[in-house]
Amino acid sequence: MPRRPVQKLKRSAVKLGPFELEHPAVLAPMAGITDSPFRRLMRRLGSPIVISELVSANGIEHGGEKTIALLRFHEEERPVGIQIFSEDTSLLCKAAQKIEKLGADFVDLNLGCPVPKVVKRGAGSALCRDPIALGKLLTELVNSVQIPVTIKIRTGWDATSRNALECVRAATDAGVRWVAIHGRTRAQGYSGEADWDFISEIKAKSSIPIIGNGDLATPEMALDRLKSSGVDAVMVGRAALRNPFFFEQVHALWRHENYLLPSAERYLEILKTQRLLFEEAYSPRTAMLQMRKFLAWFSAGYPGCHDFRRKVFSMTDFEALWQDALLFFETQVRDRDLRFMAQPFLMGGHG
Ligand SMILES: Cc1cc2nc3c(=O)[nH]c(=O)nc-3n(C[C@H](O)[C@H](O)[C@H](O)COP(=O)(O)O)c2cc1C
């Protein structure tokens, strides 16, 4: 990974709503990924706040076991936000109240999900199509709880309706504490590139904190984008699935220090910690399935990753796979050439 010096940035803590962050890069919410054990790991590895995956407010109302399980968090995660989605304002308010009661530090509304199942109901990114109606919804949501309400949006529905600025204004009037913007339209899904010029333009015209998001592949790039766009913070999703040390590396650069690449020993220690965190939270079977997914992501791009990935999803003896995995990472991390980290990766998701 290139380690050129970043341009001078202020070193002070970063204010985001009521929270003071040690540095300005935060982990993005990701469905099936940012569960409580992974959020704990990422807090330990330097993400200054964490957010759950999107949770259905309708599901919370019905009280299904699986949905309620998604609301659980560990004290170690604080500040932690729970992200919700629905097309129904009253269900969103009830869900936010439940989340407040559970003690979460903030509630985040998903307004960026492009998935047909979600937008067809009028939830996710569909709610941004009408900023006036959105403003009313957000006002009710903000008034329904004491904890901060934040939102995550895209730049617009499609190339002809990039109305993120109107959405940010509606959010500002409603009392939303920050807006995270994934720099693609709903129509783009994950194709093309995040439009950081547009994010920058919105930031310049906004009076509440803006978090820029999209395609930040390396810690250096994250801080370069932060500086060039003027956003208050950046949000990083997929890159943290290839490089779990992303946030502590940003923190080092933020302090004007060069970061050391993790040693093989440290890499293995983190894998073992992650396995323990999964085992603490889940049944042995679920813990193993989660760990398999992460082994595949963490290995993506390393030489031999295709063969290793095949093993990850085909070996039935998990302990044997685990020994292979430790060996794979020990070898790869020792002899690495990390230029591949800047390549596109995992092109799909809920925001
Ligand atoms: C597998 C996956 C799941 C995602 N799930 C969510 C989600 O639950 N809520 C959300 O707001 N965004 C979700 N996203 C979008 C990310 O938060 C982020 O906006 C997007 O990946 C772009 O950032 P990146 O280029 O740093 O990954 C998801 C993305 C991926 C790849």
How many A from CA of 26 to the centre of ligand 1? 12
Q: Is 321 in the pocket of ligand 1 (CB under 6 A)?
A: no
The one catalytic residue among 113, 128, 167, 305 = 113
Q: Is 29 in the pocket of ligand 1 (CB under 6 A)?
A: yes
Ligand 1 nearest atom to the CA of residue 110, by list position: 11
What pLDDT does residue 11 have?
Answer: 62
How many A from CA of 320 to the centre of ligand 1? 32
Probe ligand 1: pick from 27, 30, 52, 128, max atoms within 8 Å of CB?
30
Helix, strand, coil percentages in the chain from 3-state DSSP, rounded to 5? 50, 15, 35
Catalytic annotation on 93?
no
Domain segments of the chain: what residues?
21-254, 264-335
pLDDT, tens digit, 9 for 90 and up, residues 182-225: 999 999 999 999 999 999 999 999 999 999 999 999 999 999 99
Angle at 35 between CA 33 and CA 36, to 5 degrees: 150
DSSP sequence for 71-127: T---GGG-SEEEEEE-S-HHHHHHHHHHHHHHT-SEEEEEE----HHHHTTT-GGGG
What pLDDT does residue 260 have?
Answer: 84
pLDDT, tens digit, 9 for 90 and up, residues 60-90: 999 999 999 999 999 999 999 999 999 999 9
Q: What is the CATH number of domain 21-254?
A: 3.20.20.70
How many A from CA of 184 to the centre of ligand 1? 11
Q: Is 292 in the pocket of ligand 1 (CB under 6 A)?
A: no
Question: Would you say residue 271 has pLDDT above 70?
Answer: yes
Question: Would you say residue 147 has pLDDT above 70?
Answer: yes
| Parallel/antiparallel/unpaired status of strands 14-16 and 19-21 | antiparallel
Specify the pTM. Answer: 0.94
